[in-house]
Amino acid sequence: MNESFIPRVLCVDDEPQVLSGLERNLRRDCPIVTAIGGHAALELLRRDRDFAVIISDMRMPGMDGAAFLSEARLLVPEAVRVLLTGEADLDAVIKAVNGGSISYYLKKPVAKEELLRVLHGAFGLHREGVAARHRVRKVLSASLHLVIDVLARELPETFARVERVRTLAGQLGSELQLGDDDGLTVAASLAALSENLAPDVRLAHAEELLGGDDTFHGALRTLQELWNKDPHPSVMARVVRAASRIDELAGEPMPDLERERALKEAIEPRLLEAWHKLPVGQTTSLPTGELAVGMVLARNLFTVSGRVAVPRGVKVTTEALARVRLEPVEDVALVFAA
């Protein structure tokens, strides 16, 4: 974490006077930002994620505090989450604590001294959490890169599929202003990598890889929703599913109008609109013999027997060119212009 980082606090309640009271009590200790209700707070977090602590009331119309903090966890996983609750809400609070959505809960009314004590403890927890997440991300990212490097050599078509889905999911996430970019792309990579495994096997592998730490909670939850066919999946799960389906249809030999119709049937309008906003590279055709390392194919290059010789969407490698020379392939390749 940057040494000059000043921990900010987001306070969420449906009553403006309660937010004013929290701001008065805390503003001398740290910068305070307020939001009226869970939905408004989530919109704010999509634009601004630099918060060390999020404090929310439990009872709010439309979205209660536990539900809000569960969603906020996906957007700002490093933020420490504090729930303010009344006596009647304790069962819901215990469930939220056990589910990992909140770090502290305080029973109202809360004395200023108690609130400040918890706040400073939360700042310390935030610092420790950021450092730990950074270490775990480095280890897991290195492991995934190692697996993907092996795929590139041994199973180039699977490697290309993983890279395309991962990249597209990341682009859609950025267009939709989602947080936890690493969690999204990790989930997309593992989803594409595990497509040919049985659902229970791939979920067990994902839980073994991701479940020991809170660092990739968002990625694991996304995969659980996808593979358990959750009827109300999170936006991250919907993004991964959309990226996968878009990539599948892009590889199908069909007229553009038919492909667009299939996309509209398979992808929700919000995600389809985000995809259409992404930049589209210009393509050019060239003789296969002129393919060079570093070029990116816009469509698969097939052998005369119908096998994929060089997959689309990833850079042509030295190994790919060697495969092209070993077996007769199509005469013309469609590549993205440099």
pLDDT digits (tens, 9 = 90+) for 271-325: 999 999 998 778 899 898 888 898 988 888 888 888 888 888 888 888 888 878 8
41-55, 148-162, 218-232: range with highest mean pLDDT: 41-55
Q: What pLDDT does residue 2 have? A: 42
Cβ-proximal residues to 279 (8 Å cutoff; 6+ apart), any chain: none
Task: Tell me how far apart the alpha carbons of residues 222 and 211 are, in angstroms, rounded to a whole number.
Answer: 12
pLDDT digits (tens, 9 = 90+) for 118-139: 998 999 888 887 776 666 666 6
Q: What pLDDT does residue 274 have? A: 92
Q: What pLDDT does residue 245 have? A: 93
3-state secondary structure of 107: strand
3-state secondary structure of 106: strand
Q: What pLDDT does residue 29 have? A: 84
pLDDT surpassing 60 at residue 205: yes
More confident of the two residues 141 and 57? 57
- Reading the block at residue 166, the tokens are 């991962």
pLDDT band at 198 (very low <50, low <70, confident <90, very high): confident
For residue 332, the cross-strand partners are 287
Task: Tell me how far apart the alpha carbons of residues 248 and 90 are, in angstroms, rounded to a whole number.
Answer: 46
Task: Tell me how far apart the alpha carbons of residues 256 and 258 are, in angstroms, rounded to a whole number.
Answer: 5
Task: Tell me how far apart the alpha carbons of residues 289 and 276 are, in angstroms, rounded to a whole number.
Answer: 33
Cβ-proximal residues to 234 (8 Å cutoff; 6+ apart), any chain: 71, 74, 221, 222, 225
CB distance 222 to 234 below 8 Å: yes
CB distance 85 to 58 below 8 Å: yes
pLDDT digits (tens, 9 = 90+) for 81-112: 999 887 666 676 777 666 656 888 888 888 88
List Cβ<8 Å contacts ≥24 apart for 225-231.
226/191, 227/199, 227/202, 227/203, 228/199, 228/203
For residue 85, the cross-strand partners are 107
Residue identified by tokens 């995600």 is 271
Tell me which H or E stretch contains 56: strand 53-57
Phi, psi of 81 (to 5 degrees): -110, 130
Instruction: For the chain, list the domains and their CATH numbers.
Output: 9-131 (3.40.50.2300), 155-279 (no CATH), 281-338 (no CATH)
Give the DSSP letter of residue 8: -
3-state secondary structure of 335: strand
What would you report as the CA-atom Rg of the chain, rounded to the nearest whole angstrom?
24
Give the DSSP letter of residue 315: B
Instruction: Compute, in degrees rounded to 10, the torsion defined by CA atoms 150, 153, 158, 162.
Output: 60
> What secondary structure does DSSP assign to 57-100, as a single string?
ES--SSS-HHHHHHHHHHH-TTSEEEEEE-GGGHHHHHHHHHTT
CB distance 147 to 166 below 8 Å: no
Give the DSSP letter of residue 305: T
Other C-beta atoms lying within 10 Å of the C-beta of residue 208: 9
